[in-house]
Amino acid sequence: MSPRIKRIRKVLNPPPIKGFKPYGPETNNTQNEPVVLLYEEYEALRLCDYDMYNHYYASGIMNVSRPTFTRIYASARQKVARAFVEGRQIAIEGGKVYFDSDWYHCEKCHCDFNNPAKELQVEMCPLCGSKEVKDYDYTYEIEENTENRPFDTCICPNCGFEQPHKSGKPCRQEECPKCHSRMMRK
Amino acid sequence: MKVAITSTGNKEDSTIDQRFGRCAYLVIYDTVSKSVEYIPNPGKDAEEDAGPVCIQLAASRNVIKIISGEFGIKIKALLDSMKVQMIMLKDPDIKINEIIEMLNH
Ligand SMILES: [Zn+2]
Ligand SMILES: [Zn+2]
């Protein structure tokens, strides 16, 4: 299990690429799902194994606790090893994580916005004024970045109805056409 | 309070320009006086550094919010440091007058 992190962290060095593809005679099997390396996992690897910081220092740079950092780092290595051993692609999750202020999402007009006045709490959407505002969630990124993957299916957790995932739209905003439950990624 | 909106044209029913740096026009809307100004983006066809040109234009009008489809990584960092609020609206069909209406909520 990889740690699920909701807050967007301060990130200094965005990855220069979107991922890696294996090569060789056995690698044409596109059935294999890519390994998705979360941004924080990429960053943990970079800090520890490329820049050679120790865990204590790296956790400080990423602004997470030592145990959290250790979990992220372990997960990163496990994923990379899995990609190597099983000949899978590595997709690095990137996106709206490369800056300082916290980001939010408006449920009503579906805009994303940051809060440059950190000392003030966000109470409403700066565009439409709706109070249905929530913290920006990493899973939006993942859903956006998985657009071209072969496993794009949404499923209804209630009745099992399946439909192709609509790109750019989080599954949770979809309603099951049969029972009107919230859909989720299969 | 002044808000900048990236626009594909200079009419109130022009649609939002999803690109920030290379947007066709920058619409400056004053939420107090309700005035609307359409400024052609001098960096529209720039090979590079279109973003900073557009930021300068917005900054010259003292805007405190910018509405666009997406902001590049460097632009985000720059606007963040200037304490300008970024609002990303990924709807290429939305019109300038509709956005202004939303701002007048
Ligand atoms: Zn809103
Ligand atoms: Zn259902």
Whether residue A15 is found in the same domain as residue A92: yes
Give the ligand at the shortest distance from the Cα of A122.
1
Q: What are phi and psi of A153, to 5 degrees?
A: -130, 135
Identify which of A98, A117, A126 has the shortest CB distance to residue B77. Answer: A98
pLDDT in the model for residue B15: 96
| CATH number assigned to the domain comprising residue B99 | 3.30.420.130
pLDDT digits (tens, 9 = 90+) for B30-47: 999 999 999 999 988 876
pLDDT in the model for residue A6: 44
- Residue B3 amino acid letter: V
ipTM of the complex: 0.93
As for how many domains chain A has, the answer is 3
Inter-chain CB proximity A110 and B99 less than 8 Å: no
pLDDT in the model for residue A167: 62
Between B35 and A146, the more confident residue is: B35
Distance A181 CA to ligand 2 centre (A): 5
Between A28 and A90, the more confident residue is: A90
Which of chain B's residues have a Cβ under 8 Å away from the Cβ of A14?
73
Whether residue A78 is found in the same domain as residue A117: no
As for how many domains chain B has, the answer is 1
pLDDT in the model for residue A73: 95
Give the three-state DSSP class for A18. Answer: coil
Checking DSSP bridges between strand B65-68 and strand B2-7, what pairing results, if any? Answer: parallel
Inter-chain CB proximity A98 and B84 less than 8 Å: no
- Residue A148 amino acid letter: N
pLDDT in the model for residue A156: 87
Asked whether the beta carbons of A91 and A15 are under 8 A apart, the reply is no
The Cα A183–Cα A155 span in angstroms is 6
pLDDT in the model for residue B102: 96
Checking DSSP bridges between strand A133-135 and strand A103-106, what pairing results, if any? Answer: antiparallel
**Could you tell me what percent of chain A has a pLDDT over 70?**
73
Asked whether the beta carbons of A41 and A76 are under 8 A apart, the reply is yes
Whether residue A91 is found in the same domain as residue A153: no
Whether residue A58 is found in the same domain as residue A126: no
Inter-chain CB proximity A128 and B85 less than 8 Å: no
Preferred mutation among A111, A123, A143 to probe B, highest tally of B CBs within 10 A: A111
pLDDT confidence bin for A93, thresholds 50/70/90: confident
pLDDT confidence bin for A95, thresholds 50/70/90: very low
pLDDT digits (tens, 9 = 90+) for B16-30: 998 888 899 999 999
A3 in a domain, yes or no?
no
Inter-chain CB proximity A129 and B80 less than 8 Å: no
**Domain limits at A126?**
101-135
pLDDT digits (tens, 9 = 90+) for A3-16: 444 444 445 456 66
B104 touches A: beta carbon within 8 Å: no
Inter-chain CB proximity A100 and B77 less than 8 Å: yes
Distance A175 CA to ligand 2 centre (A): 8
A28 in a domain, yes or no?
yes
Whether residue A156 is found in the same domain as residue A107: no
pLDDT confidence bin for A141, thresholds 50/70/90: very low
Preferred mutation among A107, A109, A123 to probe B, highest tally of B CBs within 10 A: A109
Whether residue A14 is found in the same domain as residue A93: yes
